[in-house]
Structure 1
Amino acid sequence: MNTVCQGFAKEKGIAFLPGSSWSFHGKEISYTPYVTEKFPMGQVLRKSIRLRDITMYDLYLPLVQHPNPEAVIPVEKITGPVLLISSKMDYMWSSELAAEQIMKRIKEHRFPYDYRHLSYDYGSHLFVPMDLPSTKFFKGDRGKNKEGGRKARMDSLAKTLEFVSKW
């Protein structure tokens, strides 16, 4: 994510918390609030059923596109290499766009360390280099996409190992 988000918790369903998802030394970190006051459970369920995938993409998209400037994560202050992995089929949230925003910020600030964004056509929100039982819940890793998702996850593992071997 390119911004710190408003928090939410599983209390009587899912509810937004009146503040950030993160704090530092007990002080709340600036955050980008969701564009709705209540968690849109009905909308999330309807879209997930229609898409046949678990999705909260519409909830996160406005945060990624229009973050609170004070809540944008200052990635240029990272003191080491940065590797981002995203999938065009991550319907849980807008990981592809968030990664592009992060890469843009890194380039604008002439980041001195290695950085890379691995973007895949297949795979899902659970972009890990193994077959997990829960991957079947995501469209990017099941049915006709199963083999493409598996190949993308394995490729990301090889490229991650190559990336970290340069440290």
Structure 2
Amino acid sequence: MMKFIMPLALVGLLAACSNDAQPDVKKQFIQEGQPRPLVVVLGGSEGGNTLSASHWRPFLDGFNDIAVSVAAMGYYGTQNTPSSAAELSLNKIADRIITLTKDPMIDEKCVAVYGFSKGAELALLLGAHFDEINHVVSVMPSHVSWNAVKTLSSRSSWSLNGTPLDYIDAPLLSWKMQKGNITGEFTPAFNQALSEASADAVAAAKIPVEKINGPILLVSAKHDEIWPSYQMSQHIESSLQTAKFSYPFEHIAMDGGHYSLNKEVQTQVNQFLHQTLVDTCMAR
């Protein structure tokens, strides 16, 4: 397995990607024995379905190794998904996941979403708003919804029931964001956006993680150069503690940067999924 298994997310915020060869969904379902839990993996802000690429096969195989079926799913930038990253419908994304669970080899009561970076923001939102999704792994997450990437005008990334979600705006054309294209450090732009937002704006944009219907695993980086995932994970933890969240939740805080998720940490993630998803579901 490659040393780093997460070369995605926000690098080159305005760069176009060619995703023509990437499928909307790549499925690796276990086709024997009883119905299995499902993990749906979601890439970052680059769009397309990068996790379906051949060099990610060992990553996907790791889920099959713990008796879990897996699907890599693009949510924009593939043939049958929106081309724009703005106001993506959470309802339509959730419907696509629910459709996957109708396969007879999937246990539709045991469904996890596993998102990276922008996909981590999405994973928390899906878990918070759709009870069918009952486990969340959020790698380099955010505690709030943000403006859409690759979109020069300020627009929400997400919509729910036809209405755009409130969001915090980190303008792509701001000096700090443009400076990040040179230095590789985008975190100052996100920190500035959070510090300048009113308390009411942050509260409106906050992801209601306390509504998630199952266990949550956060993975963050203390020296995240893309956005402040460690501090944002602490906000998520605080929300869960205040709400007396009744399901297991953990936070793995790595010493590295945004792309430092490695085989050792992925093993910890799979152990969490085995304990909270596989053992629970298979024992029913």
Q: TM-score scaled by structure 2?
A: 0.42
Residue 154 of structure 1: CA displacement? Answer: 2.3
Pair 1:45–1:19, CA change in 2 (3 A): closer
In structure 1, runs of 5+ residues without a counterpart are: 49-53, 129-152
Residue 60 of structure 1: CA displacement? Answer: 1.1
The alignment partner of 2:258 has SS state of coil
Aligned 8 A contact 1:87 1:121 in 2: yes
CA distance in 2, matches of 1:87, 1:97: 9
Q: Aligned pair 1:18/2:151, yes or no? A: no
Pair 1:74–1:63, CA change in 2 (3 A): farther
Aligned 8 A contact 1:3 1:64 in 2: no
Number of residue-to-residue matches in the alignment: 130
Residue 42 of structure 1: CA displacement? Answer: 4.0
1:106-157: CA deviation from partner (whole Å, max 9, x where unpaired): 11100010000001112x32244xxxxxxxxxxxxxxxxxxxxxxxx22211
Aligned to 1:85: 219
Residue 76 of structure 1: CA displacement? Answer: 0.2
Q: TM-score scaled by structure 1?
A: 0.69
Residue 62 of structure 1: CA displacement? Answer: 3.4
Aligned to 1:55: 185
Aligned 8 A contact 1:2 1:98 in 2: yes
Aligned to 2:150: 9
CA distance in 2, matches of 1:21, 1:45: 21
Residue 64 of structure 1: CA displacement? Answer: 4.7
The alignment partner of 2:149 has SS state of strand
Aligned 8 A contact 1:64 1:97 in 2: no
Residue 25 of structure 1: CA displacement? Answer: 2.9
Pair 1:90–1:59, CA change in 2 (3 A): same
CA distance in 2, matches of 1:22, 1:42: 23
Aligned to 1:106: 240
* Higher normalized helix content (fraction of residues): 1
Identity of matched residues, % = 23
CA-based RMSD of the aligned residues comes to 2.1
CA distance in 1, matches of 2:237, 2:192: 18
The alignment partner of 2:169 has SS state of coil
Aligned 8 A contact 1:87 1:119 in 2: yes
Aligned 8 A contact 1:3 1:63 in 2: no
Aligned to 1:157: 266
CA distance in 2, matches of 1:39, 1:8: 13
Pair 1:20–1:120, CA change in 2 (3 A): same
